[in-house]
Amino acid sequence: MRGVRMRFPGSLSLKSKIAGACRVLDDALRRFPPETLACTFTGGKDSLVALHLLKEQAGGQVPCRVLRLDTSVKFPEILAFVEEMTARWELDMVVARNDAALSGGLRIAHDPTACCKALKVDALNQAIESYGIKGLITGVRADEHAQRSQETHFSARATPPHTRINPVLEFTEADIWNYIHQHELPYCTLYDQGYRSIGCMPCTKKVSDPKAPERTGRSLAKEEIMAKLRGLGYF
């Protein structure tokens, strides 16, 4: 699936989904002071849309920190795109990285549970605690994975205590691309090379069949333990 060359038929419900996402973000902006709010940005299409919705809803400027996880094995194209958008939208970017795990002999991608917990969950939780984040906006979509289908717009987490905020929860993959095209948003060039869902380099591959599930290109070993990972605090 290519972001720019492929066009999707208009979604009759996209307008209502955007309105719903804006209501969620309005609520979040009322509930959480800017210094306690953060928005995740992976460089992927879903978090791009969530970030743009927040920017527009806040009057054209992202009003809080933007949080990126650095696992040390992200695609160069993703890193370049995040850097581009940080400058373009004047983002207050915070990078979360578990240096202790990376320097302590962790074998990346060898054990999906240990790797994702150390480089994503632990790094995320450390940032949440360090910056006093109480509300965390994500690009999580309910239809992307069965383990995300029961998510809610506001999801309280106990360790560390914070609330996940999911404004694009009802969006489909087609909705995301329609939104990107309608607003003429830039996006990572990897989507034009056959990638549909982008994670770390060792656990992501191209998807040649456009009819295949969106996350077909993700590591099967990781997909099979998504319930366990989400229980640990994974998105």
Tokens of 45: 């299409």
pLDDT in tens, 212-230: 888 888 877 766 666 676 6
Q: Is residue 4 part of a domain?
A: no
Q: Distance between terminal CA atoms of the chain?
A: 23
Residue 19 lies in domain = 14-232
Ranges of residues in the chain whose predicted pLDDT is under 50: 1-11
Q: Is residue 103 part of a domain?
A: yes
Q: For residues 192 and 6, what is the distance between their CA atoms, to the nearest angstrom?
A: 9
- Find the DSSP H helices in 108-166: 112-116, 123-131
pLDDT in tens, 109-152: 888 888 989 999 999 999 999 999 999 999 999 988 776 777 89
CATH of the domain at 137: 3.40.50.620
Q: Is residue 7 part of a domain?
A: no
Name the packing angle between helices 173-182 and 14-31 (round to 10°): 80
The pLDDT value given to residue 226:
66
- Our count of domains for the chain comes to 1
The pLDDT value given to residue 151:
87
pTM over 0.75: yes
